[in-house]
Amino acid sequence: MESPNLLEMRGIAKRFGAVQASDGVDLTLKCGDILGLLGENGAGKTTLMNILFGVYAADAGRIAIDGRTISIHSSADALAHGIGMVHQHFHLVPRLTVLENLMVGQSGRGWRLDRGFALGRMREIERSLGLRLPPDARVGDLTIGEQQRLEIIKALIRGARILILDEPTAALTPQEAEGLFIALRAMAEQRMGVIFISHKLHEILAVTTRVVIMQQGRVVAETANDDTVSKKRLAEWMTGHEITPPSKVSTTPGRVRLRIENMQTRGGVRPSLKGVCLEVRGGEILGIAGVSGNGQAELADVIAGVLPASGGTLEINGTAVSRFTPGVVQALEVGRIPEDRMGTGLVTSLPLRNCMVLSRIRERRFSRWGFLKHRAIGDFADQQIRSFGIKAAGNHVATGTLSGGNLQKALLARELAWEPTLLLAAQPTRGLDIAAARFVHQRFLDLRGRDGAIVLISEDLEEIFALSDRIAVMFEGRIMDVLDIQAATVAKIGLLMAGVREAA
Amino acid sequence: MTGIRLELRAQCPWWLNILLPLTAVGATLVLCSGLVVLAGADILTAYSKLFLSSLSTAFNRVETLVKAAPLVFTGLAVTVAFRAKFWNIGAEGQLLAGAMAAAFIGARPGLPAWSLVPLMIAGGALAGSAWALVPAVLKTRYKVDDVVTTLLLNFVLFYAMMALLDGPWKDPLSGYPDSPDIRMESEFPILLRATRLHLGVLLAALAAAGVWLLLRHTTLGFEIDAVGENPNAARYAGINLTAVILFTAAVSGALAGLAGVGEVAGIHFQVMAGLSPGYGYTGIVIAMLARLNPVGVVPAAVFFAIIITGAEAMSRATGVPVFLADVIQGMALVTMLAALMLTQYRIRWNRPEHA
């Protein structure tokens, strides 16, 4: 007799205002399944998982585990039923040790925390799944990959048999991602179930056993991950039409747009730059690869004029920058796509139209004698919404109501409207679906074709390889090496990202 | 199992902006009715006295407007500051600074008569600004918490004022700890014969329009909102955070200072201990009820003026202490803060299990 399914979701529906985020979704997970959940931004993957994890209540539908219908009202309920979730952003306490983080929220004996129990469970998981961590290391000292491992262990210690991973590889090196996949396969062998959300098709193909594709709140395709499945087919299922890769024409490097020599910053809370030298010319995309936290964000902040340098020189379009303010840098035709769209790019609680002109409001075009030209601002916002295909109910909606891909388009629309000659882009397609990412990439290549220079900071090596003319790898505040795209391989870059320089 | 849970809202519908303050006020009155009963009065009689007496005669209606003027000013002062997330709890002190400047200028014998009123207005606004800039500079330069500094500076100013009134600034004629009266020519003109409807009331209405214009139609208002909602994004976009916060504080302080000018030049003609019965603090409640909208500040201020003037009549008629007005003010802030949560979240009832 066949055993009941590990997890069954039937007819799950959820409506947010006018949007049917989940429209009668059925999803089945068997023991030993690694289920890839694919879909564009706003297709309803996250909503579905949030319903499963007790963050939202479904309007309709039924959830069963081992054939028994259950009700989930909170994350605690979900955990009690053996459902664990690892979010994109970790929920860890950096000042505590690995073991202490595992004990947070666990009931101990009376007032005392049960260190022995947690340690024992940790050893068990290490033996059965190969997930190893030093129990007394401070979490703040762990790499992103290790912190993620800790999140997984935390879910397992709380008894998770179904593990939801939301874009787990976004911040990992290729080697770390491979390590994660090994652990996931081990869990599948232990008859657990994994739901794996990712935009990276090669990972879906590499690790999953089945793939479910969602579109506009519905499941549009479901398939076993066998030889008939290819990246191309998955992409077409997701978007509903054929995807053409961006066309990269050859350009001849023009004048020097950015020159950095021996750039240094003081450390402290943030990693410091220890003598960075770079040069980028017009018509060129310089990819900067590296594991996050090795100074890439700081490099971008220095060029953007937000973080003052403590040494070295910065030259933009032939002008030496001595005063580090965003205004000064903007005047030198620098555009900026920050990594943290919601935090430093847009003001989510303000109307979209305000965000569209945030950095240019004092220009004659949008204000005169200190008074706003509402009509001009609205017209400009509408025009950008149209030409970038931003899905929004109008230019008055709160910016934060847009989906991730549309937020990124809005940011691009603002920064590219001024024809910057140098564009700083950090993680420009993180969390974006294929169509949106292609759109962003095409705009970058357009700018490159118009003699613009782009500094592309990304943890997505596929992106770096697809766009860059040259690739620089950062490690601990230094540039390890700069490789021409013809000479670069994933293996070489991966080693450099880990701080290993090949012997000459 | 049934229960309630909160869910994030995608958008806040417009009608909530009107419904929320009304709900908050309604809840406040229900909560405060317990105190009315404790005082041994009939709830309906007490509340009808509280609200209707201030509107019963033409004279009372004008008096209510006169009472509303300083509240409009302080409500606007708090509105401007809070929009930039400059937590100015110091409107009370800035009001007193403005009042002191006005009383000082208004009593100068050497100044030409025509210059007195304009000088008092300008001087009072400047004094309020200057006093508000102290915590603003501490915040922008040394990252000192503005809630603490603005609040504590109220007491610094109040006791400094009392020290002056008990010493060098004491009125030599009366001998009370009051400042000397301002000159006749310094008094604000009366707009309606045989009432106290003075120039300050008109100024308050103009100020509301001015703040609306500033916040809605100028680049500075645009930047104030950006800095308040996300200072990081504003900074990355090239907006000068320090300049915007200092400007906001200056405007906020000037508005509070004008409240003080109006009280001196239109009502008391001197400064004394009881010049402001906490107008600066009531301004915070008003600004919150108005949801930081300058147009909403006017009805919110009138509402509190009704309660404050009506409290006397209610007390005479029913024996409920006038302090009920203060309780209502405080409670309205609490209920409004609770109600504000509903702009971000919606309440969902977990339905009972369906098998």
Query: Which of B7, B82, B83, B219 to mutate to test binding with chain A, by most A CBs within 10 Å of its CB?
Result: B219
Secondary structure (DSSP) of A125-168: HHHHH-----TTSBGGGS-HHHHHHHHHHHHHHTT-SEEEEEST
Residue A100 C-alpha, separation from nearest chain B C-alpha, in angstroms: 30
CA angle A272/A274/A278 to nearest 5° reads 110
Residue A113, pLDDT score: 65
CB contact under 8 A, A69 and B355: yes
Judging contacts by C-beta atoms under 8 Å, the chain A residues touching residue B1 are 71, 73
CB contact under 8 A, B225 and A348: no
CB contact under 8 A, B237 and A326: yes
Residue B71 clears pLDDT 90, i.e. is over it = yes
Calculate the alpha carbon distances from A152 to A131, A133, A158, B119 in Å: 9, 11, 10, 69
In a domain, residue B152? The reply is: yes
Helix (H, G, I), strand (E, B) or coil at B241: helix
Q: Where in chain A is the domain with CATH 3.40.50.300?
A: 7-239, 255-333+423-504
Q: Which spans in A130-269 are helix H?
A: 144-157, 174-189, 201-207, 231-239
Nearest to A344 among B222, B229, B232 (CB): B232
Calculate the alpha carbon distances from B134 to A191, A345, A490 in Å: 65, 31, 57
By C-alpha distance, the chain B residue nearest A356 is: B237
Residue B84 C-alpha, separation from nearest chain A C-alpha, in angstroms: 13
CB contact under 8 A, B5 and A74: yes
What is the maximal distance between C-alpha atoms in chain B?
A: 88
Judging contacts by C-beta atoms under 8 Å, the chain A residues touching residue B214 are none
Residue A66 C-alpha, separation from nearest chain B C-alpha, in angstroms: 16
Rounded Cα–Cα distance for residues A143 and A139 (Å): 9
Nearest to B217 among A73, A338, A371 (CB): A371
Higher-confidence residue: A271 or B59? B59
Judging contacts by C-beta atoms under 8 Å, the chain B residues touching residue A347 are 225-226, 229-230, 233-234
Nearest to A347 among B218, B230, B238 (CB): B230
A138 token code pair: 């401070």
Residue B207 C-alpha, separation from nearest chain A C-alpha, in angstroms: 17
CB contact under 8 A, A343 and B240: no
How many CB contacts within 8 angstroms connect chain A with chain B?
Answer: 86
By C-alpha distance, the chain B residue nearest A358 is: B237
Q: Which residues contact B220 (CB under 8 A, 6 or more apart)?
A: A370, B214, B244, B247
**A274 membership: H or E segment, kind and range:** strand A274-281
Encoded amino acid at A52, one letter: L
Q: Using H for helix, E for strand and C for coil, what is the string for B300-331?
A: HHHHHHHHHHHHHHHHHHHCCCCCHHHHHHHH
Residue A108, pLDDT score: 53
Judging contacts by C-beta atoms under 8 Å, the chain B residues touching residue A345 are 233, 236
What ipTM describes this predicted complex?
A: 0.81
Rounded Cα–Cα distance for residues A212 and A239 (Å): 14
In a domain, residue B200? The reply is: yes
Secondary structure (DSSP) of B165-225: HHTTTS-TTT-SSSPPPPPGGGSPPBSSTTS--BHHHHHHHHHHHHHHHHHHHBHHHHHHH
In a domain, residue B163? The reply is: yes
Residue A393, pLDDT score: 81
Beta bridge partners of A287: A456, A471
B-side interface with A, Cβ within 8 Å? Answer: 1, 3, 5, 7, 10-11, 217-223, 225-226, 229-230, 232-240, 348, 350, 353, 355
A-side interface with B, Cβ within 8 Å? Answer: 16-17, 19, 56-57, 69, 71, 73-74, 304, 306, 325-327, 330, 336, 338, 343-350, 354, 358-359, 361-362, 367, 370-372, 374, 397-398, 401
CB contact under 8 A, B229 and A347: yes
Residue B254, pLDDT score: 97
Judging contacts by C-beta atoms under 8 Å, the chain B residues touching residue A17 are 10-11
Q: What is the CATH number of the domain that holds B308?
A: 1.10.3470
CB contact under 8 A, A367 and B219: yes
Beta carbons within 10 angstroms of residue A90's beta carbon: 17
Judging contacts by C-beta atoms under 8 Å, the chain A residues touching residue B251 are none
How many alpha carbons fall within 13 Å on the CB side of residue B45?
12
Judging contacts by C-beta atoms under 8 Å, the chain A residues touching residue B218 are 367, 370-372
CB contact under 8 A, B235 and A398: no
Q: What is the pLDDT along chain A (504 residues), one digit of tens a residue?
A: 456 789 999 999 988 766 788 888 999 999 989 999 988 767 788 889 989 998 888 888 899 998 888 888 888 888 889 999 988 778 888 888 888 888 876 655 555 667 787 888 888 888 888 888 888 888 888 877 788 889 888 888 888 899 999 888 876 777 788 888 998 999 899 889 999 988 778 888 889 999 998 888 888 888 888 878 877 788 777 776 666 666 777 778 888 899 999 988 887 777 888 889 999 999 999 999 987 778 888 898 889 888 888 888 888 988 888 877 888 888 888 998 888 788 888 888 889 999 999 988 888 889 999 999 999 999 999 999 988 888 888 888 888 878 777 888 899 899 888 889 999 998 888 767 777 888 889 989 999 999 999 999 988 788 898 899 999 999 888 899 999 988 888 888 888 887 887 654
What total of structural domains would you count in chain B? Answer: 1
CB contact under 8 A, A345 and B217: no
A190 token code pair: 């232990």
Classified by CATH at the fold level, domain A7-239 comes out as Rossmann fold (3.40.50)
**A213 membership: H or E segment, kind and range:** strand A210-215
In a domain, residue B9? The reply is: no
For residue A233, which of A205, A264, A255 has the smallest C-alpha distance?
A: A205
How many alpha carbons fall within 13 Å on the CB side of residue B281?
13
The pLDDT tens digits of the residues spanning B157-198 come to: 999 999 999 988 988 888 888 998 999 899 999 988 888 999
Higher-confidence residue: B3 or A231? A231
In a domain, residue B334? The reply is: yes
Nearest to A347 among B3, B10, B226 (CB): B226
Helix (H, G, I), strand (E, B) or coil at A411: helix
In a domain, residue B13? The reply is: no
Residue A244, pLDDT score: 64
Q: Which residues contact A368 (CB under 8 A, 6 or more apart)?
A: none
In a domain, residue B115? The reply is: yes
Higher-confidence residue: B344 or B181? B181
CB contact under 8 A, B233 and A358: yes
**Mean pLDDT of the region B111-117:** 92
Encoded amino acid at A210, one letter: R
pTM: 0.78
DSSP A221: E
A416 token code pair: 């590219």
In a domain, residue B194? The reply is: yes
CB contact under 8 A, B229 and A350: yes
Judging contacts by C-beta atoms under 8 Å, the chain A residues touching residue B344 are none
Question: Phi and psi (nearest 5°) for B354?
Answer: -110, 130
Rounded Cα–Cα distance for residues A462 and A490 (Å): 9
CA angle A240/A172/A152 to nearest 5° reads 95
Q: Which residues contact A28 (CB under 8 A, 6 or more apart)?
A: A5, A7, A8, A9
Query: Which of A359, A363, A397, A418 to mutate to test binding with chain B, by most B CBs within 10 Å of its CB?
Result: A359
CB contact under 8 A, B230 and A346: yes
Residue B119 C-alpha, separation from nearest chain A C-alpha, in angstroms: 27
Helix (H, G, I), strand (E, B) or coil at A72: coil
Domain of residue B82 covers 25-345
Q: pLDDT tier at B355 (50, 70, 90 boundaries)?
A: very low
Residue A306 C-alpha, separation from nearest chain B C-alpha, in angstroms: 7
How many alpha carbons fall within 13 Å on the CB side of residue B73?
35
Residue B5, pLDDT score: 66
A28 token code pair: 């089945």
Instruction: Kindly tell me the sign of the dihedral angle through the C-alpha atoms of A323, A329, A330, A335.
Output: negative
The pLDDT tens digits of the residues spanning B298-331 come to: 999 999 999 888 888 888 888 888 888 888 888 8
Beta bridge partners of A22: A14
Judging contacts by C-beta atoms under 8 Å, the chain B residues touching residue A327 are 238, 240
How many alpha carbons fall within 13 Å on the CB side of residue A39?
26
Nearest to B219 among A56, A345, A370 (CB): A370
The pLDDT tens digits of the residues spanning B210-219 come to: 999 999 999 9
Q: Under CATH, which architecture does the A255-333+423-504 domain have?
A: 3-Layer(aba) Sandwich (3.40)
CB contact under 8 A, A73 and B1: yes
